[in-house]
Structure 1
Amino acid sequence: MTFTPLSLSNLKAIKNTVIGNPSAKVQLAQDQVFIQTLVQCLNDPPPTDPQEDDLRIEAAHVIASISYGSESVLGTLLRCDAPRAFLYAISKFTPDDTAPLRSAFARGLRALAIAIADTVGPSQWGLREERSAIKNDAEAALDYLFETDSIDLYLPLLVDPSPQTRISIAQLLGFSVRTAEHRTAVVSWLPPEDRMKEVKTKRGWEKTAASANAPNRQGGWACRNLAALTHGKDAKLQEAALWGLATIAKDNSLVAAALGKTPTDREGPSLLSSILTLAKSRSTDIQLAACLCATSIIRASSPASPASSVPPVDDTAARTVMNVINRIISASTESLPSRTKACFILYYLVTDNTTLSFSAFERGCLGKLAAVLQEVTPLTPRAEWEEDEPETVAALREGALTAVAAIALFDNTIRRNVTDDLRLLPTINTALTHRHVGVRYAACQCVRALSRAVAVLRTNIVDSGLGMAVFQIFKKESGEDRRVTAAALAAVCNIVNEFSPLRPIYLDLGLMPRLVQLLAGGDATLRLSSLWAVKNLLSKTSGETKRDVMQCLGWGRLAELLEDADGAVQEQAFHLVRNLAENEAGVEMIFRELGADVLLRHLTDALGAEDDDVVLQATCVLANLANGAAAAQAHLLASPTLLSALRGVLAERAPHIRRPGVSAVLELARTSTAGRRALGAAGVGGTLRRMCSAAGSGGGMVGAAGLRGSGTGSAMDDDRDVIEQARTALDWLEHGEAYR
């Protein structure tokens, strides 16, 4: 059926039909003629209709309603170029346009932008099913929405007279900005007239006073205006502004500093203090928005932030957020979506931060999460999980498991609390088989975190069956989400370490063929983690296992990995060789199977790489090879380019990289007179002399050392035993014959 020409009554009926009705939306998407006519109506309503504005408003409302929940509908809207139609309509706004018209178009653009962002990802509140069919189109549309020309059209509506319009634009920022590039585009945006002033000033055409809208002033134009909205009395506007601020402050130290700084031009507390006050609001929605906003500020202002000049936020802010979140998580009177968001906000606060993770543990967050998990998760899989369990319950379980994994990632005491006191292993095991992709993913992340503890791995992971359950997910070759496979593989990487009783069992059950399969695939995350697992397999293992593993991996493939374009892959490949070369038999096998020419060429290149992690592993490989038999040492000493690269490491790299380099020199200096001459000819002796001299005088390394980023530092930064080892190596180089 085709709904053309459009009428106001038809559109209202359609809107009422599709609200909350996914099947009606899908059916509507099949009528592309209608969707195209609907989009066209945004700018060109039927000329015979006397209620043109009302028709355009209703068309915008219908598009906003059908944007959510259906891939087919969104795909049709993208094919009809709905984002461009909305922006074109907004570009034609005049002062005479009514508030309902402006707010309807802002709402429609917001709904469309959020639906597109949810398709592109990453998801804000847990994993969503990937929509591969329209992802490319959605990515292009989202990039278009955050081009400067597009932002010029809708961001000024953040100061529109209509509160509903301002709310929609703030929500658009809060829920559709997902990447650093889009965040930067919003944060750095200036109104066109202010951009012109900036350009003229930079070119020297005219001198102007410092603009009140200078890019970095109070975090930028968007930050200033969102912050202003939080001071009003409109609760919906406050909430929307807080979501917007939370998004643009994420991972942005400059914005975080502006929000956490006490203002100098007016009296009153910092905006962060005001946000923490709002976190104690009577409205749960405002509490959640304020907690996420405070979390973004805390994390971007932490000492671990790349901008180390930003002072850390007082931990009072983190404690306040944790207290509010604890209350929401454990309150059965709160809605399940609110409790889910609280779990993810806690995750955002503590993830990859040792101090905040332990603080959350001390404040009882783990206990609250465990209570939620035991409340919503049966101890054995239920048939109802396949059909009857509401998505909101699954989402809460996912959020709680995700937060547990983040809190337990770094500390053995916390891991023991999870396994022994809270007894969460049966719950995690049950979650591994859940139909919801996010629940399985979060459960795998919990296994990964817990398996980092040796004692837990040797006992609880084995006895509970978690180790075998996560291995079965990893082995599944079809029908599993690649992100779940990646999380299971991350757990497997820990479980195959040398102290694990599951290592030989995994090998017997086909671990290596599956790793090689993933290593040969196109997914970068799976590829890197597979190589990581192989590296761990080769650590502290028998020569027979080393031979079997390498026979399956292939020496030719290893040679390719040693020159891979991805620095992280190169690092793991050299670490793999390092583990192979743990003893003389391993060193001999490497030279025999890989070949001296190939090995030394790759090693030389890696010692001169820009990536310090690659250089470190290559230097450790060299140190292990130098401890091999005389034949291996002879190969190393016969390569002037390799020895020259080693001298460069000693002269230019950071102390932790010089350590294995000095060890290699000492072993090679003990070989023979010819070997010492080769080291001397490469300039190694002079570099060692400068290291020792600088340590004795308190001076720093000179020359290229100051040009290498993390490779800078004085020789005094070296441990005393490294300097003593350098002196011993220098003594061997200069007086080696006396030791014979």
Structure 2
Amino acid sequence: MPTVVAASVGASSALTAEAARLKQLRNRIVGNPTEKARLAADEEAILLVVDALNDDTAAGLELRITAANVVATSVAGSLVALHALLRAKAHQALLYALSRLSPSANNRLRIAFVRALRAIGTAVADAVGPSWWALGPDTVPDRDAARVALEECLNEAAQDVYLSLLLDPSPAVLEAICGMLAQILRVKLHRLSVADWLPPADRELEQKRAKRGWEKADVQPHAPRRHGGWVARHLCELLHTKDMNLLEAALLALAALCKDNLPVAKAMAAQNYSEGIDCSAFIPIHRLNSLIESTFHTMLLLAKSRSVNIQLAACFCAAQVLKAINDAHVNTSIPQLNPTPQAYSFNEDQITLTHILNQIMASPLHGELERGRACFIISTLVHGEHAAAQTAAECGWLGTIANVLISITPNVADWEEEESNDRQFFREGLLSAIASLTLHSEDNRQKLISYPDLAQALASLLRHPGAGVRHATCLCVRTITRSVNGLRTAVVDADLGPRLFEVVCKPQEDRRVRTAALSAMCNLITTEHSPARTEIVQRGGIERLVEFINFKDEAMRVNSAWAIGNFLYKSTPREKQLVMSKLSWGTLRRQGLLHSPNDELREHALTILVNYSVSPGSDVIDSYGHDALIATFDSLMSAGTSTLVRRALDSWLVLIRNSTDRGHALCAHALLTRLRDLLGHKEVDIRTAAAKTVSDLLLFNSDFYQALRESGIETTLRIMHGPSHVGQHNIHWQPGMEEHTEVRRYVSDALVHIDACGIDEDEDGEDSAMMDRG
């Protein structure tokens, strides 16, 4: 017996000593990238840390806690340490350790484990991307390994381990789980996965109910997926906590869950959680009254908190709810705290959020990190929304951010020193907000141009050392140059054209920055009066664009083709010959742009073809090749996407019009047969475009009547219209008749032209017969 006791004491002493060594290691690596890199290179030490996470001995508690702390500390800001831990499967070891903890396990141990898991999840999500706020890194070493680890952290088995901890009574555990969700839900697939998750017991219950074909599980009072799902419900309950750190984490987790997720966003905006439902099974009775109002309304109340971090988190969450619902074009009203007969619309909520964010941004008492986040949130709120952008400008946003950006931007040709991360983040937020506010609003663009020093600030920022700042600056230049006044003032006065071209031609430029610069160049070279157009051509801009088209990066190819198509618009015949001599027709033909698997690239290639054909003497048929052109349009008309098919029909019609003497050559039987098939397509947009093409074709030249008749288009049109006279509306439906109003209108117009052509043919026939008899 003494021997056994001595052995136990010896083992305990060894574990205590090991824990002490791990604590020393943790203290060395805190905030020390060099020590973290040294740890990552020591494979034996990494394995020791990972193995210690699952030490089951009674004396191993401190060892396991310290090992978890080492994991959490080492991955913060160190990719090499992260990948060393991923190779050792540290995330799987943490999930396994958490799954084996009993409810009565030491709370310090559980907190250490969930914090380590949050740290790894956050680091992996940052490595994989996309970034939540700023641009983030373009390339990350071993990104594929991080992507695999992220998927492993989001599979159902892993979710069963940590999502169930949303029921844990410890605020520290809840904060870590919410913080992890706020970071790892970067893409829609992962958001939907977490939103649909159910505890194993609820999954089993749902499967049983699904077997009853007569019972609709989702409308039951205790349906597992009610009100946005299990995770959303429990995150909403946490919005009533008094713990500020937990409240902020819960708001950010809800924001991540609501982004581009309409079912959850609508649940957040629902009038109440408890109407007609016994909520006592999943919400404590003292919380029921506080959930009478919508969760969205709670977010608005929290947006007025005294804590700026709570304000920002609540505004971010509310912005994601509004964005998800607005993007889906769902008109949802939200009741007030004390409902009144007046309607309470989302417009009022947007104004409220806009004012709160403007106050945060304009206050110098807040740090640049907080003010930068306010800029990114307003960018999210107004992006793509013309009315919201106008409202934000009226609330003072545009003037505030323009003045702040000018005040913090020195007028220098070259940046000698890099700025702090917070200052770069703030700059990028300001520029992103400007780009979103002016993207779809000409009034906002005019207001922005009225600031005389802004264009010069943008010219200086195009040479900023931060890729995110340069990227956001290119987006601003793109929105400003959508205005003709912007082209005259910003381009000429601040010399933005050459600066932008420098970004495009810079050899080591970040590909995302170059892509954004190319999109801005599309505006600079579209108008024939643009002062930058001639200079860009003289400096080899066309050659550079052609070079980018042959790159593997799809975004760069698309923007380059877009820029070339814009340049050909209203260009001189000499300029068109110059472009096509550089681009070559072979680049457009088979295995080229017009046969790319990227539909957007094919659309811009059609623009190149059409814009080239506009000027006299531009013979597209001979240059491209007649048979190749017919085969290309046959392929485009049979494409799967509605947008590309409609664009192909429009381009085909334009080419026929521009090829006045050889238009018949493009009306090949194969294309007319394809056009006839499109008249019966399942999508209304394609049927509409096809019927309009037939009508416009006959309106342009009635000589096409016979070819249309021989291809069966006239017969198809008459079946679509029905057996009534053209223009008669009160008819009975018959098989094959078109029901959509707009399609029927174009079908009627086409038949009017066909009937007119038929009458003319009959008159010509009678005249010919009379001449023969004479």
TM-score, length of structure 1 as denominator length: 0.91
Specify the alignment match of 1:153 in structure 2: 161
- For structure 1, the 5+ residue unaligned runs are 707-711
Specify the alignment match of 1:335 in structure 2: 367
Offset, 1:629: 4.3
Question: More deviation in 286-295 or 31-40?
Answer: 31-40
Structure 1 residue aligned with 2:234, among 220, 225, 240? Answer: 225
Q: Distance in 1 between matches of 2:298 and 2:658?
A: 64
Matched-pair contact (CA < 8 Å) for 1:278–1:287: yes
Specify the alignment match of 2:25 in structure 1: 14
- Does 2:671 align with 1:645? no
- Does 2:597 align with 1:568? no
Matches within 5 A, 1:176-195: 176-195=184-203
Structure 2 residue aligned with 1:73, among 40, 59, 81? Answer: 81
Specify the alignment match of 1:32 in structure 2: 43
Structure 1 residue aligned with 2:254, among 228, 240, 245? Answer: 245
Q: Distance in 2 between matches of 1:248 and 1:695?
A: 52
Structure 2 residue aligned with 1:361, among 370, 383, 393? Answer: 393
Offset, 1:504: 2.6
Per-residue CA deviation, residues 336-381 of structure 1 (Å, 9 max, x unaligned), is: 2111111111111111222211111111111221232133221225
Offset, 1:656: 5.5
- For structure 2, the 5+ residue unaligned runs are 1-13, 278-287, 335-344, 768-774
- Does 2:545 align with 1:518? no
- Does 2:71 align with 1:63? yes
Specify the alignment match of 1:102 in structure 2: 110
SS at match of 2:113: helix
Question: More deviation in 311-320 or 163-172?
Answer: 311-320
Specify the alignment match of 2:225 in structure 1: 216
Distance 1:282 1:454, change over 3 A: same
Structure 2 residue aligned with 1:236, among 229, 238, 245? Answer: 245
Q: Distance in 1 between matches of 2:713 and 2:689?
A: 18
Q: Distance in 1 between matches of 2:85 and 2:198?
A: 30
Question: More deviation in 6-15 or 319-328?
Answer: 6-15
- Does 2:502 align with 1:483? no
Using the aligned pairs only, state the percent identity.
33
Equivalent position amino acid for 1:15 in 2: R
Offset, 1:149: 1.4
Matches within 5 A, 1:435-514: 435-476=465-506, 478-499=507-528, 500-514=530-544
Offset, 1:132: 2.8
Specify the alignment match of 2:435 in structure 1: 405
Q: Distance in 2 between matches of 1:213 and 1:704?
A: 47
- Does 2:181 align with 1:173? yes
Specify the alignment match of 2:4 in structure 1: none
Equivalent position amino acid for 2:209 in 1: T
Per-residue CA deviation, residues 619-654 of structure 1 (Å, 9 max, x unaligned), is: 1222122224465223123x2121122234455525
- Does 2:126 align with 1:118? yes
Offset, 1:615: 1.4
Offset, 1:727: 2.9
Equivalent position amino acid for 1:36 in 2: L
Q: Distance in 2 between matches of 1:208 and 1:237?
A: 36
Distance 1:361 1:112, change over 3 A: same
Specify the alignment match of 1:287 in structure 2: 311
Offset, 1:694: 7.0
Per-residue CA deviation, residues 518-556 of structure 1 (Å, 9 max, x unaligned), is: 211111111111111121122122222222212211211
Q: Distance in 2 between matches of 1:655 and 1:276?
A: 44
Matches within 5 A, 1:588-667: 588=619, 590-629=620-659, 631-637=661-667, 639-650=668-679, 652=681, 653=686, 655=688, 658-667=691-700
Specify the alignment match of 2:709 in structure 1: 680
Offset, 1:44: 2.9
Higher CA-based Rg:
2
Q: Distance in 1 between matches of 2:309 and 2:696?
A: 59
Offset, 1:657: 6.0
Q: How many residues align?
A: 716
Per-residue CA deviation, residues 180-239 of structure 1 (Å, 9 max, x unaligned), is: 111011001011111122222223499797666635311001100000000122222111
SS at match of 2:240: coil
Distance 1:97 1:5, change over 3 A: closer
Matched-pair contact (CA < 8 Å) for 1:102–1:165: yes
Matched-pair contact (CA < 8 Å) for 1:564–1:570: yes
Structure 2 residue aligned with 1:735, among 760, 766, 772? Answer: 760
Question: More deviation in 373-382 or 251-260?
Answer: 373-382
Equivalent position amino acid for 1:34 in 2: A
Q: Distance in 2 between matches of 1:699 and 1:110?
A: 66
- Does 2:358 align with 1:326? yes
Specify the alignment match of 1:709 in structure 2: none
Offset, 1:731: 1.7
Equivalent position amino acid for 2:741 in 1: S
Structure 2 residue aligned with 1:379, among 407, 411, 416? Answer: 411
Specify the alignment match of 1:394 in structure 2: 424
Distance 1:551 1:238, change over 3 A: same
SS at match of 2:410: coil
Q: Distance in 1 between matches of 2:331 and 2:246?
A: 33
Equivalent position amino acid for 1:735 in 2: D
Distance 1:628 1:392, change over 3 A: closer
Structure 2 residue aligned with 1:257, among 266, 270, 284? Answer: 266
Q: Distance in 2 between matches of 1:240 and 1:700?
A: 61
Equivalent position amino acid for 2:526 in 1: N
Distance 1:471 1:703, change over 3 A: farther
CA RMSD across the alignment = 2.8
Matched-pair contact (CA < 8 Å) for 2:360–2:371: yes
Matched-pair contact (CA < 8 Å) for 2:630–2:666: yes
